[in-house]
Structure 1
Amino acid sequence: MMNTSSTIPVAGSSETPWTLPYRGTIGMACLILAEAAIFIIFVVAYIFYIGKSLSGPTPAQVLELPIFGTICLLSSSITVHFASSALRKNNLRGCTAFLAGTVLLGAIFLVTTALEWHHLIYDKGLTIQTNLFGTTYYSLVGLHATHVIVGLIMLTLTLLFALTGHLKEEHEKKLEVLSLYWHFVDAVWVVVFLVVYVLGR
């Protein structure tokens, strides 16, 4: 009895070895999922209480579309993307410039939010204790503003590292993780903008 065997060629060296994803990316993805759940709760609460305030002012009476601040914040997503791409190509000067632009645009957004709150509190008399609208408005928009502040602090520190020459090409993955957080903050603002300033009015 003859023992016949067949040989099947195995492509070994031609296959790309599988590597684990960068742990910073995984960690940021988990953080974003947790933060998204929190924002969903606040958004649902805001929607649930729309029109249920027993006293004024109402959203239609006091809210104006924050077009300029929104454009600045959404534009900062583009600049932080270019900053990460520039660092990947070892273009440190370009990375620094785009980081500076991101910080500037984010700061402008915060200033517009602060001016809006000052107007609502001192000119329109809307505080967090005025009615249900005031409570849910300041809670939701304030939660987002807090995330913007955290992101701006991290971006500013990164910019300082870039200006002092401590930001290198090998830090590109870390900057990409930070950009994911900033993209999340911008995406959340789109939802907040639609719910508060469009649907809520």
Structure 2
Amino acid sequence: MSSTTHGTTPYYFVPGPSRHPIMAAIGLFFVILGAGQWINAHQWGAYSLAFGLLWWWVVLFQWFREAIGESESGLYGHKIDLSFRWSMSWFIFSEVMFFGAFFTALWWARTHSLPTLGSLDNALLWPDFKAVWPSMAAGVTGSPADLVEPFQTVGPFWLPTINTALLLSSGVTLTIAHHALRADHRAQCIRFMWLTVLLGIVFLVVQGYEYYHLYTELNLKLNSGAYGSTFYMLTGFHGLHVFIGMLMLLFITLRLQKGHFTAERHFGFEGAAWYWHFVDVVWLGLYFLVYWL
């Protein structure tokens, strides 16, 4: 297959054997091992997590540098471009399923678990239980033996609304940058890409401040019942995806400044843009289902 050519470019480029996949898997092993031990209060878990992350990022940097070199040297043709598009599409689909599981958990707790518990006899274990969401918020009811400290819920104003405006604005600036690249206006594209990266950074800063506010003033923590766990799992994982997407956009911007991508061939740019728009859509779901309802 690799010997079949289309003009001067291989019809389907087949790379040689590579150590990068197994090396990346080793790094992920230390990441997962360290994260599990760190959560369970083992001191060495933090070191394993840091080592695994450093290992993994070094491997990914080398792997991407090799792939970029192959692309810039003209080895990638239409079939490779199509395979990249399918791969990114399935990756985003898997991310949709990932967040869908947590959205479903939130929906199930509110519409099924809580009403079911409220219809049972709670006089012995929890005399003052009330089937309202969230059941252990301050001013609603106390948990038996004070298993969960009272907390306050989070409303949409103002930090979540500010972050919504930031992410939606970043989607607009990214789209403008994409149109500029397709029109071969590289300088304009780079300017709007830097603006998109900046908006992503500001979003993360605002979310970090929101977490500080929730912990110190609202007493909302990860162990604050089903509300706290689903809130932090959804917003925390989304924040992680924003951070990853911001790094992707930063990397793409640096490549643009080095002269990579053309008006006709720029799937690396498009793939990062797809991911960022996916992050935008997930946040809209979070904004309405977590903060408003």
TM-score, normalization: structure 2? 0.57
Instruction: Show CA shifts across 1:105-150 (max 9, x none).
Output: 1111111111110100112211101222111100011111111011
Cα displacement string for residues 57-110 of structure 1 (whole angstroms, at most 9, x for unaligned residues): 242xx4343111111101111111121221122211011011011101111111
Q: Mark the runs of 5 or more structure 1 residues left unpaired by the alignment.
A: 1-18
Determine if contact 1:83/1:98 at 8 Å carries over to the other structure.
yes
Residue matched to 1:54: 136
* Residue in 2 that maps onto 1:154: 248
1:22–1:85: structure 2 CA closer, same or farther, 3 Å change rule? farther
Letter in 2 for 1:191: G
In 2: Cα distance, 1:30 partner to 1:105 partner: 27
1:63 to 142, 146, 155: 155
> 1:117 is matched by which residue type in structure 2?
Y
Q: Secondary structure in 1 aligned to 2:273?
A: helix
Encode CA deviations 1:132-184: one digit per residue, 9 max, x unaligned: 21111000111111110110011111122223x23231552221121111111
2:177 to 69, 83, 88: 83
Give the Cα–Cα distance (whole angstroms) in 2 for the partners of residues 117 and 110 of structure 1: 11
RMSD: 1.8
Please give the alpha-carbon distance, in whole angstroms, between the structure 2 residues aligned to 1:173 and 1:90: 15
Matched, 1:39 2:99: yes
CA distance in 2, matches of 1:53, 1:147: 30
**Residue identity matched to 1:70:** T
Higher relative contact order (CA 8 A, sep 6+): 1
Q: Which amino acid aligns with 1:125?
A: N
Matches within 5 A, 1:71-150: 71-150=165-244
Q: Which runs of 5+ in 2 are unaligned?
A: 1-77, 111-132, 138-149
Answer whether contact 1:92 1:168 (CA < 8 A) is retained. no
Task: Indicate the residue corresponding to 1:15 in structure 2.
Answer: none
Kindly indicate whether the alpha-carbon contact (under 8 Å) linking 1:148 and 1:185 is maintained by their aligned counterparts in 2.
yes
Match of 2:261 among 145, 168, 182: 168
Letter of the 1:27 partner, please give it.
S
Cα distance in 2 for partners of 1:152, 1:110 equals 10
Contact persistence 2:171–2:277 (CA under 8 A) = yes
- Quick one: percent identity of the two aligned structures? 33
Superposed displacement of residue 54, structure 1: 3.4
For these two proteins, the number of residue pairs brought into alignment is: 178
Paired with 2:136 and 2:165, the residues of 1 have a C-alpha distance of 34
Deviates more, 1:133-142 or 1:172-181: 172-181
3-state SS, counterpart of residue 106 of structure 2: helix
TM-score by length of 1: 0.81
Distance 1:25 1:78 in 2: 22
In structure 2, what is the Cα distance between the partners aligned to 1:75 and 1:127? 30
Quick one: distance in 2 between partners of 1:198 and 1:177?
31
Q: Deviations over 1:10-52 (max 9, x none)?
A: xxxxxxxxx8672222111101111101111101112233415
